Structure 1
Amino acid sequence: MTRRSRKPWLKRLFPAPLLSLALMALWLLLNNAFSLGQWLLALVIAVAAPALTASLRPTPVSFKKPGVAWRLFWQVGLDVLVWNWRVLRATLRPAEHLPKGGFVIVPLDLRDPNGLAVLSAIMCVIPGTIWSELALDRSALLVHMFELEFAEEEIALIKSRYERPLMEIFES
């Protein structure tokens, strides 16, 4: 008679503890109420949401190198500010000097689905760029850029600023 391996009850109740904690905090902050009833509702959401969405997370997150993640976070924040300024300046130009946007294909070395999801979020949050399509074999990414003057430089920037740190975080 073989014994089935069972997860500890706490891991079954909270399959994604950080997500549960974040959902609880978000619920309490958005409701701006900290009564017992709100705490209980937050707990129900913190238990139910990760359990109900477990099938949407096909691969477990293997998060390494928090220092690299922290630097990437600040780099993206700085890039958001810089690109906001660049897009504002570009849209205020006279019509004959408006930037020429276009698509670029970025070859990818990153293969981890969680890393690709973070890369897609970064590309969508940076003003002037949008993640358009991922190749079926995950080897290339199609990105639309608002201001595409130097395509090769933009590709190198995406690879060095975002893809390389994500590979360190998720694949090393």
Structure 2
Amino acid sequence: MSRAIPHPVLSLALVLMWLVLTSFSLGNLLLGTFIALIAGWSVEHLHPAKPKFRRWLAIPQLFFIVALDILRSNIAVARVLILGPTHPAYHSGFVELTLQLREPNAIAVLAIILTATPGTAWIEFEQESGRLLLHVLDLRSEDDWQDLVRNRYEALLMEIFE
């Protein structure tokens, strides 16, 4: 059973969602079941390796740093967008960063951190070279961003995961 339907709860939820979004008929039931099974088999191959934490005490430290940075970024974005013309001019742009992280779970956490921070967007990542393309709403210096990501987030993530 687990081989034929590797994620039964996910598959059932997808079939039910399909039937809620479409009109109920035998054809929609069969099509929804087919799509749910394909999705379940696909998800089976997406599971990353389990994270191995090396230094648990760095997790709360990273959490508080990220929470503070998100609060600061919310204030900065509000100043730029809401106060607009009275605020000094800002320059948005793309920043190319080189990451030392190679652990997939640590990279995923970094992606969540940078995407959750208002004013930044994770655009592209090349795993082989460690190159990250980031869009920043208020870009002052690329070197500042390289330093911020490397010393503030990446260093702690390397302590936690690697």
* Structure 1 residue corresponding to 2:113, chosen from 107, 114, 122: 122
- Quote the offset at 1:56 in angstroms: 2.4
**What is the Cα deviation at residue 108 of structure 1?**
0.7
Judge conservation of contact 2:79–2:87 (CA < 8 Å) in 1.
Answer: no
Question: Aligned ranges for residues 60-139 of structure 1 at < 5 Å?
Answer: 60-91=50-81, 92-94=83-85, 97-139=88-130
**Structure 1 length-normalised TM:** 0.65
TM-score by length of structure 2 reads 0.69
Unaligned runs of 5+ in 2: 1-41
Structure 1 residue 167: Cα displacement: 0.8
Alpha-carbon distance in structure 2 between the residues aligned to 1:160 and 1:59:
26
The residue identity in structure 2 corresponding to 1:67 is L
Question: Shift of the alpha carbon at 1:138?
Answer: 4.6
What residue in structure 1 maps to residue 4 of structure 2?
none
1:111 and 1:138 in contact (8 A); partners too: no
Deviations 1:118-155 (A, max 9, x none): 00000000111111100141511100000001221121
Q: Take 2:44 and 2:53, find their aligned partners in 1: how far apart are those partners? A: 18
Query: For this pair of structures, how many residues does the alignment match?
Result: 122
Cα RMSD for the two superposed structures = 2.2
Q: Match of 2:57, SS?
A: helix
| Cα shift at 1:60 | 1.9
Once the two structures are superposed, the pairs formed by residues 1-172 of structure 1 within 5 Å of their partners are: 55-91=45-81, 92-94=83-85, 97-171=88-162
% identity of equivalent residues: 38
CA separation of 1:96 and 1:88: change in aligned 2, threshold 3 A: closer
Structure 1 unmatched runs, 5+: 1-51
Does the 8 Å contact 2:80/2:87 carry over to 1?
Answer: no
Q: Residue type of the partner of 2:156?
A: P
